[in-house]
Structure 1
Amino acid sequence: MKVSVNWLRDYMPIEVPVNELAEKISRTVVEIEGQYQPQANMKNVVIAKVLSVEPHPDSDHMVITQVDAGEAEPIQIVTGAPNVAAGQTVILAKHGSIIGGGQKIRKSKLRGVASNGMLAALQEIGFEDKVAPKNFEEGIWVFDEVDAGELTPGEDALHVLGLDDDIIETGITPNRADLFSMNGTAWEVAAILEEQPTLPSFELVESDTQTADLLTAEAPGELAPKYALRVVQGVKVQDSPLWLQKRLWNMGIRPISNVVDVTNYMLLQYGQPLHAFDYDKLPAHDIKVRHAYADEKIVTLDGQERVTNPQDIVIAAGNEGLMFAGVMGGASTEVTTDTVNIVLEGAVFEPRAIRHTARDQNLHSEASTRFERGVNVEDTFTALDHAAALIAELAGGTVAAGRVVAQDFTYVAPVVEVTVDKINHVLGTVITVAEVAAIFDRLFFDYVETNGKFTVTIPARRWDITISADLIEEVARLYGYDNLPATLPTGATTPGKLTVKQALIRASRHTLEGLGLDQAISYVLTTPAKAARFALHAGQPIQLDYPMSQDRQQTRVSLLTGLLDDVAYNVARKQSDIALYEQGRVFVSDGDTTQRPAEIEHLAGVIAGNWLPKTWATPAKKADFFVLKGVVEQLLANYALAQSVRFEANGAREDMHPGRTADIYVGETLIGFIGQIHPLTAKEYGIGETYGFELNLAAILILPKNKTNYEAISKFPAIARDLAILVTADTTAAAVRETIITAGGQHLHDVTLFDVYSGTNVAAGMKSLAYALTFVDPEKTLVDDEINAAVAKIEQKLAENHHAEIR
């Protein structure tokens, strides 16, 4: 919220420099997001009075003016402003001045006529369009006659317009909504500076007409615990006086008219949103707070037609919805320059209902922000009466006698107890009873102290304080966080280390990154179509009740869907050589909405394009099934699984190529799958030939593992033998390799398939597999008899298990 320091000075004297005040607020209450003067580096901008206006001899839209700027001679200004006229009091940027955006104004000739400055609109001296009362196209800023009578030509216009005010922007935390008002901010600053704030006062004069004779009001307590109306008759809607406009635009609110500006002024002063209706535009004079009917149409003050749902809260007259309660008014009863009689509404609305309406309509306003976080319930009707009195003063109306009250309640101040011993125990201080009492006095809290025990009565303006811990926080921040003692933590220390799960995940990342894959992090939420793909587990994804978008409706059951989105993103940007992996959780539900879904750790990867780039010596190597299989085999080998790993072809897995996909087993446990993404699925994503794998890390984590021991490199020579066999075409090389390893004995060190052949000289339905076998003994040199015996045993087992013929 923007805080005007000049406005704060109406509450109390402020002698400290503004930057020091901002620092005190930041250290004591809330963060300071900015501090500035609206005038920035502008200078030499003054008040001037237009003496004469003559047509330009060489232009049909410019005029030549003579203005009094408090100097010995009038200053000639050429301007194209459509609203300039003799007798006006205006803003003059003189020769040599600097205006908004750092623009320098110098003497010049416009169509041959000298111009010694510029008559300015507010936008030209730094006002944003959303704050300036008039559109730039309407011309220069002209002071009204009442304000002009108090101004002197040559006077500093930046000071007159309040642009030399110091503005402090505070970042209001959810628990300190009391700081959304100048009153609340004044109480806080007074506590910091140890001052006594003087709150605004007013005198309300009522006519003989009774408000109850003009309208009725009805509001259920569960929607509006406080609700009242006042009527002001015979108003003249026009521009607000300059003092009020300055207050508003320095706080970031655009002045509109005296009636609307008063309601906004009360919003800033009390933190209490009010609303003004045109009494004569009401379809009926029975005002009701109710839930909206389905599909009611309300045009709000921003000009948009909005459709209600039954959970929205509306203000209605007769059977017609007029506005969204506590959020934004309706155009049908808007106060305009033709308005004569107005109805003022002051209320406290149920915060959750306002939050629902604002979110449902995507309509968050200054009013809804305050109602959602809370308002001072003791100020609601005070702000209503103050607004009525000020409108009568500024718009010349009369206030009908009394309020029409539909709902009200008596505020019961909560009482919170805290002891000095408890305060010192929590803060680690030795604060005395007198010091605590002084802090509560600075906060203007009523209290009773008995033997170090404080019984504190909490005022309505501090609805954030409900328990003793809140009072301890109040003491801590006013005592000064910098004054709290700094101590090192004590207690037994334990060495930090990774859990088994964390170590597995970290090792997996290191392995995949060492093999050339880059880590990706994808959204957990996706579309319903993608959420069902590549599932490893029985179950279904979770549907969100309030998804952030159509693309983020359900939880993922696979990491591959997100990785394929990443591939598509890269391909769309001409990056075709891709190697990515992701580690994360998938979410699977059994359909029981009363139970939390299972969260399962997964690991997945994808490759596409070239695995190795082309060099001067070697051609490029394309990514394929066997490249990715090698990556997965190395990853699984690093886990040191006690049981053997095998890959079994599976042509039935959806969204995967039926001839290039395999399930991955450890023993009899399915831990994942690997293969080519189905071409049709790849086409949907807009990508080319892509290979992927997905592993269930949670399943791998609980599998038995071998201890990893260091094995010295043998000092003795290794012996190599080649073995070629004939087997049926459906026999897998992995199964043959497993048999060789099992039968090869303790000296068999490595088995490598180096040739696969079928065709000429090989019978139909058969294929030839050739393996390189490496034998080594770390203790001695092997002899041929030992090798021959091992090879013979291998050949025997191959014949028994696979009906293999030795070639």
Structure 2
Amino acid sequence: MKISYNWLKQYIQVDESAQEIANLLTRSGLEVEHVEGVESIKGGLQGIVIGEVLTCKKHPEADKLSLTTVDIGNGSVVPIVCGASNVAAGQKVVVATVGATLYPSEGEPLKIKKAKIRGEVSEGMICAEDEIGIGTSHAGIMVLHTDLPNGTPAAKYFNLEPDYVLEIGLTPNRADAASHIGVVRDLKALLHREYQLPSVEAFHVHQTSASIEVIVENTEAAPRYSGVTISNLTVQESPEWLKKRLQSIGLTPINNVVDVTNFVLHELGQPLHAFDAAKITGNKVVVKTLSPGTPFVTLDGQERKLHDTDLMICNAEEPMCIAGVFGGINSGVTTETKAIFLESACFNPVYIRKTSQQHSLKTDASFRFERGTDPNITVYALKRAALLIGELAGGVVTSEIIDIYPQPVANFEVNLLYKNVNRLIGKVLDKDTIKSILSNLDIHITSETDAALQLSIPPYRVDVQREADVIEEILRIYGYDNIEIPDRLHADYLAEFPSVDKNKLQYKITALLSDNGYYEIITNSLTKAIYTEKFAFVAAGQNVEILNKLSEDLGVMRQTLLFSGLEVMAYNSNRRQKELKLFEFGTTYYKTEGKYVEKNRLALFLAGDKQAESWQQKSKSVNFHDLLSTVQKLLQRMHVKNIESKDTELAIFSYGLCYKINNREVANIGLLQPSICKFMDMKGQVFYADIDWDYLLKQYSGNLEVKEVPKYPEVRRDLSLVIDKNISFQTIRQLAMASERRLLKSVNVFDVYEGENIGKEKKSYSVSFILQDENATLTDVVIDKTMQRLMQVFEKELSAVIRK
């Protein structure tokens, strides 16, 4: 929402700067997200002054040019070559001095430079109105009638007051502040200053010859409906002051009638709508809902099918407007309009919200109506608009004000206890301070005792209906910054720590896997019994059989995600999909000792190429470490602790690792046995991870461990170890970490070699070791001793040969 600083000053005395007002509003709950300077004329006429033509004669080399000398103030007289036919000595003119930039009404900006024109020096430019962007006329230079001294900035002559726009991030509960007067009401309470609404005492009914009958059939949707007829008006361009007001907050002027309705909307927060009275068939306005599917063409030329909850403003024969949202294409104000019916209503927010969402229509009016407007301001807004239209369009009121308000909206009644104010705010406030704040917020005290206040709250404060709401109002005006932090903190109660949301956590891991190139699959929980008969690692006796099975392929519940996942892998692989990275969250089922058990597991499948072949690199097959890296990232994201690893013992793997937490298996990772892949018609190697999702969820820790970044540098040392083929890197890592717990931070293998040069049963690992002392800089002596100790351990425990 945009608020003009200069516009605010029309209603309340403001001595503070725009930024100070922004800070004040933000501290009170109306968050000003941005303050931006606004120029009513681009460039603000910088470098343009009032000057006086002292002499004027014809240019010797050009009949249409004149040589002038111009006094531009401060004793400066400059020569200027001018092409205007109406220039003459003694004139007061507008002069663009050297260095100024002109922003004409049409065309590109022009920077004024010292120049020679037909051999004569020219140090400036005498301007026409279109050349400085204040009009469109180019009939000649502007000749001013003013007593202002030479050198006076032209901005002062044209009353160009700089403005600022406050961009307020309005929260949904503060519908009352969705206007300049709404913001002024808060400033009244914050600055302890009165504000003044524009007077409407001059409103009078000229005659009642053009009355229009109004019928409100749906009073639930339209609790109050007011209107008046204005005749004998002339629709034309709005005056400059009105256009500037609207342009300052980002609105495009249309004509004097529509601009007035927009002006009052942003002034008071009350939407208005003007209907061309000549297009109101039967001189009747009916407020009602229509049959579902009724077609209606809106102002944007689009035909929309109405819903049964769309409140419509109709004439005697057809709909004219979607109430509170958008006008119709045939009933709006045009240059031919001579009389209007001006509507000012209070609509039910629920109806407007539904209509706005159903038709995807968001307007300034719907923004306010769907949050709740003031039912008590409709008539005042009518009078205010009618007076402005009379002033700007020459219209006169030709009907009495129609005001259909069958059930007036009552004020909210709230009982406020002083003890609750002090308890919730956390500070004992003076009773007079509390009452002063309430009074400044237009909250009336109907009765009071030493312990409590009985309050009456106007209905435009739709968010203040309970005692706690009132206390929040007191606090935001008193100032959050004025509540001191006590020496001892206390609370009325402690909330329980929220339990882990399993769905959110699963979504987090899904996002992690997707970010790493995995695609999620969802497979059938029913599978083939033959799988458990063929492979011993799933027990046929534990199958959960389907009593009324449709086929043998869907005869039992799955005990593992492996086979259904391999079915998907094989299907895609046989259709030339070479990069297969899949995962599935699924439930497995089995029975044991007469009980049925369900377990949630996570399965990962990896096969084929890492990535598609390109001109930059050739395709490369996936390997065990690609899957291992993904599982390690997953465990890190779950913030689990006390993880141990060892070689997997599951028969489905040719090789792999098993991760344990608290001595219980949480994940098994490895290369699937070729016999399994062959049976499933899956060609090539498949890497598979089986994760106990239920147990992993229980181990999840939302608490992150944070420690200070080390001040001292780390050091890297490399070793090349020749070891037996059956020794894994994990064994090397665990042995190293156990031997040096303080300085050794990480161990990594960066090269593996196997060949005849080192023996058929041997392999060579190139391993890096990162050393770091968190309390001192490592010396060569300490580093060498540490590495010697590690080499001795490897030689003793692994019979390793250290290659040097």
TM-score range, shorter chain: 0.5 to 0.7
Identify which of 241, 251, 254 aligns with 2:252: 254
How far does residue 232 in structure 1 lie from its aligned partner after superposition? 0.4
Query: Quick one: structure 1 residues 638 and 401, their matched pair in 2 at CA, closer, same or farther if it must change by over 3 Å?
Result: same
Query: Quick one: structure 1 residues 645 and 429, their matched pair in 2 at CA, closer, same or farther if it must change by over 3 Å?
Result: closer
Structure 2 Cα separation of the partners of residues 185 and 428 of structure 1: 27
Structure 1 Cα separation of the partners of residues 629 and 8 of structure 2: 72
1:190 aligns with 2:188: yes
How far does residue 272 in structure 1 lie from its aligned partner after superposition? 0.6
Query: Quick one: structure 1 residues 342 and 426, their matched pair in 2 at CA, closer, same or farther if it must change by over 3 Å?
Result: same
How far does residue 453 in structure 1 lie from its aligned partner after superposition? 0.7
SS of the counterpart of 1:401? coil
Structure 1 Cα separation of the partners of residues 483 and 348 of structure 2: 39
Q: What letter is aligned with 1:36?
A: E
SS of the counterpart of 2:111? coil
Deviations 1:596-630 (A, max 9, x none): xx99785646565238999xxxx975137998699
Deviations 1:315-341 (A, max 9, x none): 222332222221121221221221101
1:312 aligns with 2:310: yes
Q: How does 1:521-560 map to 2 (within 5 A)?
A: 534-537=522-525
Report the equivalent of 2:369.
371
Report the equivalent of 1:105.
111
Q: What letter is aligned with 2:485?
A: A
How far does residue 348 in structure 1 lie from its aligned partner after superposition? 1.4
Structure 2 Cα separation of the partners of residues 660 and 123 of structure 1: 84
SS of the counterpart of 1:373? coil
Q: What letter is aligned with 1:140?
A: T
Report the equivalent of 1:467.
466
How far does residue 181 in structure 1 lie from its aligned partner after superposition? 1.3
Report the equivalent of 2:636.
none
Structure 2 Cα separation of the partners of residues 430 and 495 of structure 1: 29
Query: Quick one: structure 1 residues 451 and 585, their matched pair in 2 at CA, closer, same or farther if it must change by over 3 Å?
Result: farther
Q: What letter is aligned with 2:314?
A: A
Report the equivalent of 2:46.
44
How far does residue 273 in structure 1 lie from its aligned partner after superposition? 0.5
Structure 1 Cα separation of the partners of residues 610 and 319 of structure 2: 64
Q: What letter is aligned with 2:6?
A: N
Report the equivalent of 2:323.
325
Q: How does 1:229-628 map to 2 (within 5 A)?
A: 229-447=227-445, 448-487=447-486, 489=489, 519-520=513-514, 534-537=522-525, 602=602, 604=604, 606=606, 609-610=609-610, 622-623=621-622
How far does residue 277 in structure 1 lie from its aligned partner after superposition? 0.9
Deviations 1:360-396 (A, max 9, x none): 2222111110111111111112112221222122211
Moved more, 14-23 or 178-187: 14-23
Deviations 1:60-119 (A, max 9, x none): xxx99999999799987779xxxxxxxxx9998665324569956215899989892765
Structure 1 Cα separation of the partners of residues 216 and 233 of structure 2: 26
How far does residue 278 in structure 1 lie from its aligned partner after superposition? 0.9
C-alpha contact 1:421 1:452 (8 A) present in aligned 2? yes
Report the equivalent of 1:58.
none
SS of the counterpart of 1:166? strand
Report the equivalent of 2:167.
169
Structure 2 Cα separation of the partners of residues 627 and 348 of structure 1: 64
Q: Tell me, which stretches of 5 or more residues in structure 1 are unaligned?
A: 52-62, 80-88, 126-138, 525-529, 540-557, 562-575, 587-597, 651-656, 663-674, 677-688, 705-716, 721-770, 773-807
How far does residue 186 in structure 1 lie from its aligned partner after superposition? 1.0
Deviations 1:192-219 (A, max 9, x none): 101011111112111222554x343334
SS of the counterpart of 1:209? coil
Query: Quick one: structure 1 residues 90 and 294, their matched pair in 2 at CA, closer, same or farther if it must change by over 3 Å?
Result: farther
Report the equivalent of 2:739.
none
| TM-score normalised by the chain length of structure 1 | 0.59
How far does residue 490 in structure 1 lie from its aligned partner after superposition? 5.4
Structure 1 Cα separation of the partners of residues 2 and 495 of structure 2: 48
SS of the counterpart of 2:350? helix
Structure 2 Cα separation of the partners of residues 23 and 643 of structure 1: 54
How much identity, in percent, do the aligned residues show?
A: 26
Q: How does 1:22-41 map to 2 (within 5 A)?
A: 22-39=22-39
Query: Quick one: structure 1 residues 122 and 401, their matched pair in 2 at CA, closer, same or farther if it must change by over 3 Å?
Result: farther
Report the equivalent of 1:712.
none
Identify which of 91, 99, 119 aligns with 1:96: 99
Q: What letter is aligned with 1:419?
A: L
Query: Quick one: structure 1 residues 501 and 287, their matched pair in 2 at CA, closer, same or farther if it must change by over 3 Å?
Result: closer
Structure 1 Cα separation of the partners of residues 366 and 128 of structure 2: 39
Query: Quick one: structure 1 residues 606 and 436, their matched pair in 2 at CA, closer, same or farther if it must change by over 3 Å?
Result: farther
- Aligned alpha-carbon RMSD (Å): 5.7
1:140 aligns with 2:136: yes
Structure 2 Cα separation of the partners of residues 109 and 260 of structure 1: 47
How far does residue 32 in structure 1 lie from its aligned partner after superposition? 0.9
Structure 1 Cα separation of the partners of residues 499 and 340 of structure 2: 69
C-alpha contact 2:31 2:169 (8 A) present in aligned 1? yes
Report the equivalent of 1:204.
203
Structure 1 Cα separation of the partners of residues 599 and 391 of structure 2: 65
How far does residue 429 in structure 1 lie from its aligned partner after superposition? 0.6
Structure 2 Cα separation of the partners of residues 359 and 534 of structure 1: 34
SS of the counterpart of 1:240? coil
| TM-score normalised by the chain length of structure 2 | 0.59
Report the equivalent of 1:2.
2
SS of the counterpart of 1:451? coil
Query: Quick one: structure 1 residues 698 and 382, their matched pair in 2 at CA, closer, same or farther if it must change by over 3 Å?
Result: same
Structure 2 Cα separation of the partners of residues 577 and 33 of structure 1: 51
SS of the counterpart of 1:331? coil
Structure 2 Cα separation of the partners of residues 288 and 110 of structure 1: 71
SS of the counterpart of 1:333? coil
Deviations 1:661-712 (A, max 9, x none): 59xxxxxxxxxxxx78xxxxxxxxxxxx9978686754566999xxxxxxxx
Q: What letter is aligned with 2:358?
A: D
Query: Quick one: structure 1 residues 583 and 473, their matched pair in 2 at CA, closer, same or farther if it must change by over 3 Å?
Result: farther
C-alpha contact 1:183 1:269 (8 A) present in aligned 2? yes
Structure 1 Cα separation of the partners of residues 37 and 407 of structure 2: 42
Q: What letter is aligned with 1:473?
A: E
C-alpha contact 2:289 2:311 (8 A) present in aligned 1? yes
SS of the counterpart of 1:520? helix
Structure 2 Cα separation of the partners of residues 606 and 21 of structure 1: 60
Structure 1 Cα separation of the partners of residues 278 and 159 of structure 2: 35
Structure 2 Cα separation of the partners of residues 142 and 463 of structure 1: 53
Report the equivalent of 1:726.
none
Deviations 1:754-795 (A, max 9, x none): xxxxxxxxxxxxxxxxx99xxxxxxxxxxxxxxxxxxxxxxx
SS of the counterpart of 1:462? coil
1:21 aligns with 2:25: no
C-alpha contact 2:667 2:692 (8 A) present in aligned 1? no
Query: Quick one: structure 1 residues 396 and 104, their matched pair in 2 at CA, closer, same or farther if it must change by over 3 Å?
Result: same
